[in-house]
Structures are given as structure tokens and as C-alpha cells.
Chains A and B, each alone.
Chain A
Amino acid sequence: MKPAPFRYEAPRSLPDALALLDGEDARALAGGQSLVPMLNFRLAWPELIVDLNQVSELAYLQVCDGALRIGALARQATLHRSDVVAAGWPLLTAAVAHVGHAAIRTRGTVGGSVAHADPAAELPVALTALDARFHLRSRDGERTLSAAELFQGALTTALAPGELLREIEVPAPVPGARTAFLEQARTHGDFAVAGVAALVAPGAHAAIALLGAAAVPVRAVAAERALLDGASAGEVARLAAADVPDHYRRALLTTLTERALERVMA
């Protein structure tokens, strides 16, 4: 479990990092909680590792114009401990608590979790429910994608070669909204088998994102509409998971969604 040989660079600025990422077969290293095991298993054989950990301009978590801005190097532990996040975006606080263990969250970054796009990861699902925007930067400029545009499949995103997830922007809190994040995992801290992120402001806003319904986070749009139309938690939950073919997974998502909705609608 030693990685194949690679070249290593540790730039100190975003332009330098983007210049390095633009060239050969390069991979960006942030917290290393997914990439390093892949290197050690020799599942990833990049020519060049661009270590972002010296790019301090990416290590931020701040509120700007009401929105939460999460820089590429913001650690999961920083998100977990943030009082500002707990007050304004408690869904993120609840979701990140399920990410691995303290040691993993201390190294692991929010951006890394998103860019890795593991279908069993919690943060992409919570960010999907929160209508987060993803700012991607390359030498050629910047573009901004929604979750539906970014997540394309298991471990696959719209990130192009040479492109870096620079910032995640989470819109200002929905007034009066309550949130819940529930999941089923084999053990505490393990990747989830299924999960749900719910954000509901009665009569005004409903967002339900599912983990485990597909290879990417899924917004249960019909269920959200039914909820705003006054359907019961049980009805909404059944609608949310209706398209999941496997009986067990469908039942699990229905149960978790119903329980999440009971919490936010109580």
C-alpha cells in the first residue's frame, strides 16, 4: 500500500495552483482522506500531486451578504464547530457530524468531499437540499454550477481537467425553516447506506434531498410539492422514495424521510 511514484508540488497561491493543475495528469490534494487511500491502493496514478494545503487564501468559512461561503480548504471540523453555521445552517452541522470521525474531519475538507462525489457521502446531499452553488475556477476563468449540474455520477463531477472547486456558496437561511438530517449506516462514522436531508418552512419552502436513491444526490421534487400542498409526512415520504427500485432501500428512504419530516413539521 505504497503509492506509485508521483511528482509533488505545494503552491502557495491560487494562480500557482491553477497553473500546476492545468498541465499534465495532475490531482489536487486537500485533506487527503479519499485521495491518499486511492494512491496507496494504486487506484489513482497521477503524474503530479498539487498539494493545496499551503494556499491559505482558500482556507475560509465566512458569511458574506447573508450567504455562507466555504473555501476549498475549509476543514469539515471547522464547519462542525462553527456557531455561525449551527445558527444559520444547522442542516450542515447535522450532516457533517456523520462524516467519519474527529480525526478524519480535522483533515478532511468540505470541498474535497464535494469534489470526490462519493454517492454515500453526507455533505453533497445536505448542500443539494440547501441549493448550494459551486464556484469552479481554472486558468481560463470561473463558472458556477448548481448541485444538479455538478454531480454527474458516482465519483464523477462536472469538474474539467485543470479546474478547481474554489468555493461553495450556501444561500442565506430560509426564514422560519427547520431542518433534519437522518441516515442509516452500519456503524457510527461509516458511509451511509441511505439518508435524507430535509429543510422545511411550512407553507413557504420545502427541500428534500436523498442519499442512496441514486448515484448522485437526488432532490425529491414531487414530494416537496406535495408537502407544500399539505400532504402528510407519510404521504410525502412515500412519494419521495417511490422511484427507488430495491424494496429495502425504498423502505429505508421512506422511513428516514418520514421521520425527518416529523421532526421538521412537529
Chain B
Amino acid sequence: MTGGGLIGASLPRREDARVLRGETRYIDDVVLPQMAHAAFVRSPHAHATITSIAVPDDAEGLLAVVTAADLGETVRAFPLMEPDGVQVDHAHAHPVLADGEVRYAGQPVAAVIARTRALAEDAVELIEVTYAERPAVLAPRDSGVVLTRWSRNAGDVAAAFAAAAHVVSGSYALPRLIAAPMEARGCVAAYEPADDTLTVWCSAQDIHRPLAQLSHILDRPPPRIRLIVPDVGGAFGSKGVVAPEVAAVAAIARRLGIAVKWTEDRLENLVGASQGRGIEGDLELALDAGGRMLGLRARLWADLGGYLLTTTPIPPHTAGTLITGVYDIPAAQVTVIGALTHKVPTGPYRGAGRPDAAYMIEALVDEAARRTGIDPVALRRRNLIRRFPHRTPTGLEYDSGDYERCLDLALELAGTADSDGERGDGADVVRGRGIALYVERAGGGWESADIELRPGGTFAISSSSSPHGQGHDITFAQIAADRLGVTVQDIELRFGDSATSPPGVGTFGSRSVAMAGSAIAVAADDLLAQARARTGTTTIDWPALAGEWTAGGEEAAGGDETAGGGEAAGGGEAAGAAATSEPPTLRASARFGSANVFSSGAYVATVRIDRGTGELTVERLIAVDDAGTLINPLLVHGQVIGGAVQALGECLTEEAVYDDGGQPRTGSFLDYSLLTAAEVPLIVTGEVQTPSPLNPLGAKGAGEGGAVGTLPAVANAVTDALGGRHVTPPFTAEKLWRALHDEPADGGP
């Protein structure tokens, strides 16, 4: 396929064969000579003072035991993001290693460096740490310590509630979730004294954020750290911040002048990696007699954990800003309190505040429908935002969308049969149907791209955004090939090495196509304009043009094909705009920035609950998403399905559980239950494409919609099946059975 027809083409990912053949190179596949291995002494307590640490003189293969005291002033605590208007208490930034105090079970206390990981784990057993236990706070509302705070009061909220014919309230909560990527976290860090460079291979979502975080923590400027992201086996938001263990390993590699690897195991990941969700809220909605929404009050509490990691402040703020959803609510008073609890810190997990907001507002709208007697679909239609751009009382500006079209399509796909015919509750089952709309913040910020014409008439593109499974490679190739009038085979993408990548922000928040894709589009347009100016023709014969320039001796450009995976091509030539002499061929660079774009969607779930066992079966899920103009519908479809299945896990089984003393009870997949293919229902997808006016592609974001829309739709269907009784996810058989039989939720005879 050549240019012009590539936007909207469902082409498979180019890395699929490599992935399926096991030819990928994950962090554990990075092996350096004389490499040592790290394991960690971790806190067994949720909250305690460290009174002493006794280290053995020697153990087999032991190279070093490093504590916070050993690192001393060579490291700083984590840098913290401050989303717009959020007050962040920097005194609670996560330390690299525990310094005198531990605030969650699993917190790294000492790093043990040995010749092998097994020997390091053996040595961990020999280190004696004594603790004085302190009381653990587990519920955010019980915490006296506020780590982040955000509030917003817009419109006349008091007047809205005074004028209301109906005031409907609801209290909602979402448990903590574990991202559980197939590949856990990890790094290899190596220090080269000759050029004073610390090279860190890191299983991360992108290069620029871990680089900035390590630069701050190690107080070492970015050029003296090279950050390489090899193939990544999933992240789902959990790899947007470096692990404290990675910071420790990097500091130790620098200090000892050796290469050190840390490959996180599953136990470490389940108890030590930042978790998602963990939020609750009290909401009140004021409506007039006709069902028009007049005002919203919301007070949210986020269970942030013992410390703040860099990205911890983001999701609760996102939830707070999106709490008015797709509805035209003129007045809102929203407060979001991020509280200290004695658990591992939270952070972004697919959706990162978006599902939280959609879950609460959509449950509340259904509650309003029940209270007012207005049909839930009619109540939604009456209040949908219809004019764009739309400024919400929470301060966001929705760029575009057509919420009613999404709703209409979802209802059409759902049909009417399951709302009436199949609906009948039987002796053994009760059925329910739930509808939910969502809007999500995507894009925003900036990314950049370098593109160059290479000998032979092909193109090399360096993108600032690196992939971790999404399929950037083919998507970006489609964008460039479409602009340049060439085939995708002519485009080679390079990612993931701070030595060669152009500057950027990162891969998160459904932003890669809208931002990095747009940067590629702009760079490609620039390249085409240069070529047209030089040749005086509209249609460019790229091989001829390349031949013209390369005939006279070009730079060495051979290395590109040798990288095998291509993903983390170390070496190679320095791409980039900063060419010093006469360019031997054609190059362009672009930086693209814009305000946020807003994807949206409408979901319908039909469920049945077995009266005898309480078992929930999601019979059918209708997923309609508007992610703007789609570059590659096949990959968008995969994103929707993947997000929906993760959300179904959130609905059915997933929950990070802590006991009353703050001990994690979900330290293996025996206890933290992930769905299998057998639990996945029929998912029917539909799409609406409302182009964003904010970028040249018209793109929004598709990475999270499935995770955002599914939860509220299923939750509303469950509440419907239970006759209006609300249950907190996950909707386990036991909880639903107790709800059906009016039993107390927490068991007991």
C-alpha cells in the first residue's frame, strides 16, 4: 500500500513474528560480562522504626550489602510530579532505601549484591534487621496525613443544590489493583569510568521519564546517564516511574564501578510495584424536576500508600477533573485528598483515574434515574455535552466529541432483545443491563521526531515515544508513509535509546499517536516540502533523490540492518537535527505539542447472577469508542479488547488485599486472581470517529477506553440485577450471593 490509503488501514504489527518466535530481548536477556545480581531485604512490617541492621561479614558469592546509610547523600528521594493545582507534600517522597523507618511491607531496606540472584537471595536471609513496630493506618479516611490535595469550586454550587428538585447521593469505592504485566520490572546498570557514563537498561514505558527521575535521584545530568529501553513485556502504567530498586541498583553500579542486574520476580512485583486505583468518594448530584443536572459535589479520598512516587499524585487528580463525565453540569465542588496509608504506593494503572471517575459518576446517574423514575438513557441524553470545545467546571476543555452518536450506536448494537426478552429473571438467575458513557483525557504535552532520507530512498525515523507492546512501529510507519507517498516497508522506526532518541515526554495516557504520531506527521511534511523545493516537483522519486545526494560519499549508514530487533539499536549513527556539517541527505525534525484531546465512548453490559452461587457472568459487552481518526483500526481493536478484559478482571476477581495489620495477602497469582480466556464474554465493538481539531491527524487516544468504559457498564448492570443494591467491585460470587440474600457483606454465620 502506498501513500494516501494508509490512514485507517488494519496492518498487523511488524514485531509479531519476532515476539511469537521468542526473539525479543527483554530486560533479563541483557547480559553483560562480570555482571552481578541484586536482591533486596524488604520490610516485613507495614509500619516500623528500624532499630538496627546487622550484615554478615561474608557469605558465598556476596559482593556488597548496601543500606540507606551507605548511600548517604549520594542519592535523593524521588522527584514528584505536581499536576495542575495539586498541593504535593514533598517531605513524603519515596526514599531509594528505607532510612530509619519503613512504611509498607515489602519496602526495600537493603540491597544485596552477589554473583548470582540465587546467592543474593541466600545472603538476604543472613541479614538481620530489627524493627520497633508502629501502628499501621490502612484506610485513607482514617489517615491524619494528607500527601496531596486538590480542590475546585466552579459555578454557584450552593444555589444549584438550593434550587434542586432532587438531590441524589452515593458513596463508591474501588479497591487497589495490581498491573501484573507479564514481564515484571527490572534493570541492568553499568558504569563506565572512562567517560563517566552510567548506562541503565530499564524495563520502562519510555526513556525520558526514567532518565529524568534517575537524573534527579542520582544528581547526575542526563548526558552522563544513558537510558535504554529494550523490548518490554507490558507495563499498563506501572512502568512510568522507575522502581526504587532500579534507583538503588543504578547508584550501586556507579559506586562499585560494576554492572548489576535486578530482574524483579513475581512476588516482588505483587507486593512491591506501585498499585492502581484505591480510591473512594462521596458524591451528591442536584437535578431539577425535569432531570437537568444542576450541580455536583464530590469528595474523594485516595489511598496513596506510605510514600509518593513520581507519578503517584496523578491518578486521583485525573479522577477529580473528570468527575463530571460527559454531562453538562454547570457547577461543581470537588475535593480530592490523597492520604498516607501503610501500603505500597499507588500510581497509574490503565485508565489512571479515568475509570474511577466514570465509575462514580455513571453509578450516580443510574441512582438518579432510579430515584427520579426517569429512564437512565433518557436522563443521560437530557444532560449530554453537545457543544465543543466545552469547558468543564473542573477546569478541563473537551476538544470534540459526539457522545450521543456513541450512545445511539451502543444501543443499536445491544439491540432491544436483551433488555426485554432475555431479561426475564428465572428461578436460578437474575439478570441486569448497564449503560455507561465515558470521556477520557488523552494526549497533551509534546513529543518529537527526526526523519531522514537514507541511501536507496528509504526513511529512518527516530521517535521520542517508545513502545511497550502497543504497536508504535507499524502505526508510525503508516503515518509517515501516508504523508510521504511511500510504502510502510520504506520506513524504519527507531526507539528507546536516550543516546539517539530526540527529546520527548513519554508513553502513557493514550497519547502516543496524537503527540508522537503528530510529530512524525509534521516532520514528514517538512521533509516532503524540502524535497519538493529541491526538485521542483510535486511527486518525489525518493530513490533517485537519495542517489543524487549519496553519490558523492555519505556518512556511514550501514549499521541499521544489523540490530536484529531494531528496538534498542545501540550504536548506529546519531540521528537528529543537530547535523553540524552539510547534510549528506535530507533530514527533518519536528516537535509537536497540543492541549489535551478527549476520547469518549458508550458501553452496554448484560449480566446474569446465579441466585444459588452468586456467580456473575457477563453475557455480553458492547464497546463503542471514539478515539478520533483511527490510524490502524486493528491495533485500536486490540487495545479496546485488552482494556476491556483488564476491566472485567477488575469487575470479577482482582483486588490487592491487605490484612488488618497491613500485610499483603495477594503475593502470588494463587491469591491475586487474573481472568483467563474462559471468563471473557462476547465483546462487540463499534467505533465513532470524531476527529480532534488539535492535531494534524485528528487523533485522540485509544489505549485506555476499554478499561474506562467497561467497569461502569458492568457495575451498573450488576446494580440493576440486584434491584438497585450497590456492591463494591470486585463482584465476587460471595459478595453477590450475600447481597441477593440480605446477608452482611463481611461473612460470618
Pairwise interchain contact A184-B615, C-beta atoms closer than 8 A? yes
Q: Knowing A193-B733, A251-B612 are in contact, say whether A188-B679 is a contact too (CB < 8 A).
A: yes
Interface residues of A in 5-24 (CB under 8 A from B): 5
Residues of B within 8 A of A191 (CB): 670
Interface residues of A in 194-231 (CB under 8 A from B): none
Pairwise interchain contact B653-A255, C-beta atoms closer than 8 A? no
Residues of B within 8 A of A42 (CB): 121, 125
Contact residue among A3, A41, A101, A251 (Cβ-Cβ distance under 8 Å from B737): A251
- Expressed in whole angstroms, the minimum distance between the Cβ of A60 and any Cβ of chain B is 30
Pairwise interchain contact A252-B737, C-beta atoms closer than 8 A? yes
Pairwise interchain contact A188-B670, C-beta atoms closer than 8 A? no
Encode contact with A along B236-250: 1 for CB under 8 Å, 0 otherwise: 000000000000000
Q: B738 on the interface (CB 8 Å rule)?
A: yes
Pairwise interchain contact A246-B747, C-beta atoms closer than 8 A? yes
CA distance A172 to B652 in the complex (A): 41
Pairwise interchain contact A255-B749, C-beta atoms closer than 8 A? no
Interface residues of A in 58-112 (CB under 8 A from B): 101
Closest to A188 in B: B678
Residues of B within 8 A of A2 (CB): 117-118, 121-122
Q: A245 on the interface (CB 8 Å rule)?
A: yes
Q: A1 on the interface (CB 8 Å rule)?
A: yes
CA distance A186 to B733 in the complex (A): 8
Closest to A120 in B: B670
Residues of A within 8 A of B675 (CB): 187
Q: A190 on the interface (CB 8 Å rule)?
A: yes
Residues of A within 8 A of B615 (CB): 184
Residues of A within 8 A of B122 (CB): 2, 4-5
Q: B676 on the interface (CB 8 Å rule)?
A: yes
Encode contact with A along B107-131: 1 for CB under 8 Å, 0 otherwise: 0000000000110011001000000
- Expressed in whole angstroms, the minimum distance between the Cβ of B611 and any Cβ of chain A is 8
CA distance A138 to B679 in the complex (A): 44
Pairwise interchain contact A251-B679, C-beta atoms closer than 8 A? no
Encode contact with B along A239-266: 1 for CB under 8 Å, 0 otherwise: 0000001111001101110110000000
Closest to B610 in A: A255
Q: A189 on the interface (CB 8 Å rule)?
A: yes
Pairwise interchain contact A186-B668, C-beta atoms closer than 8 A? no
Q: B219 on the interface (CB 8 Å rule)?
A: no
Closest to A246 in B: B749
Residues of A within 8 A of B670 (CB): 191
- Expressed in whole angstroms, the minimum distance between the Cβ of A135 and any Cβ of chain B is 30
Pairwise interchain contact A186-B732, C-beta atoms closer than 8 A? yes
Q: B573 on the interface (CB 8 Å rule)?
A: no
Pairwise interchain contact B737-A187, C-beta atoms closer than 8 A? no
Pairwise interchain contact A188-B676, C-beta atoms closer than 8 A? yes
CA distance A226 to B741 in the complex (A): 28
Closest to A182 in B: B613
Pairwise interchain contact B673-A248, C-beta atoms closer than 8 A? no
Q: B90 on the interface (CB 8 Å rule)?
A: no
Pairwise interchain contact B267-A41, C-beta atoms closer than 8 A? yes
Residues of A within 8 A of B425 (CB): none
- Which of B266, B679, B737, B743 is packed against the most chain A CB atoms within 10 Å? B737
Pairwise interchain contact A248-B732, C-beta atoms closer than 8 A? no
CA distance A133 to B118 in the complex (A): 41
Pairwise interchain contact B267-A1, C-beta atoms closer than 8 A? yes
Pairwise interchain contact A187-B673, C-beta atoms closer than 8 A? yes
Q: A37 on the interface (CB 8 Å rule)?
A: yes
CA distance A2 to B678 in the complex (A): 31
Contact residue among B266, B653, B673, B741 (Cβ-Cβ distance under 8 Å from A251): B741
- Expressed in whole angstroms, the minimum distance between the Cβ of A3 and any Cβ of chain B is 8
Q: B408 on the interface (CB 8 Å rule)?
A: no
Pairwise interchain contact B679-A248, C-beta atoms closer than 8 A? no
Residues of B within 8 A of A259 (CB): 612
Pairwise interchain contact B117-A255, C-beta atoms closer than 8 A? no
Q: B101 on the interface (CB 8 Å rule)?
A: no
Residues of A within 8 A of B738 (CB): 248
CA distance A248 to B678 in the complex (A): 25
CA distance A130 to B613 in the complex (A): 26
Interface residues of B in 646-677 (CB under 8 A from A): 652-653, 668, 670, 673-676
- Expressed in whole angstroms, the minimum distance between the Cβ of A234 and any Cβ of chain B is 11
Pairwise interchain contact B668-A41, C-beta atoms closer than 8 A? yes
- Expressed in whole angstroms, the minimum distance between the Cβ of B88 and any Cβ of chain A is 35
Residues of A within 8 A of B266 (CB): 1
Contact residue among A1, A5, A41, A245 (Cβ-Cβ distance under 8 Å from B749): A245
- Expressed in whole angstroms, the minimum distance between the Cβ of A211 and any Cβ of chain B is 14
CA distance A189 to B117 in the complex (A): 31
Encode contact with A along B722-733: 1 for CB under 8 Å, 0 otherwise: 000000000011
CA distance A184 to B613 in the complex (A): 8
Q: B734 on the interface (CB 8 Å rule)?
A: yes
- Expressed in whole angstroms, the minimum distance between the Cβ of B627 and any Cβ of chain A is 30
- Expressed in whole angstroms, the minimum distance between the Cβ of B594 and any Cβ of chain A is 42
Residues of B within 8 A of A101 (CB): 676
Q: B265 on the interface (CB 8 Å rule)?
A: yes
Closest to A250 in B: B749
Residues of B within 8 A of A193 (CB): 733-734
Closest to B268 in A: A1
Contact residue among A248, A254, A258 (Cβ-Cβ distance under 8 Å from B734): A248
Closest to A101 in B: B676
- Expressed in whole angstroms, the minimum distance between the Cβ of A14 and any Cβ of chain B is 31
CA distance A193 to B653 in the complex (A): 13
Q: Knowing A186-B732, A188-B678 are in contact, say whether A248-B267 is a contact too (CB < 8 A).
A: no
Q: Which residues of A contact B (CB under 8 A)?
A: 1-5, 37, 41-42, 101, 184, 186-191, 193, 245-248, 251-252, 254-256, 258-259
Instruction: List the 9 shortest-distance A-B pairs measured between CB atoms, nearest first.
Output: A255-B612, A188-B678, A2-B118, A1-B265, A186-B673, A2-B121, A186-B653, A188-B676, A245-B749
What are 27 A-B contacts with C-beta separation under 8 Å?
A: A1-B265, A1-B267, A2-B121, A3-B118, A37-B668, A41-B267, A42-B121, A101-B676, A184-B733, A187-B653, A187-B674, A187-B678, A187-B679, A188-B676, A188-B678, A191-B670, A245-B749, A246-B749, A247-B741, A247-B748, A248-B737, A248-B738, A248-B747, A252-B733, A254-B612, A255-B612, A256-B613
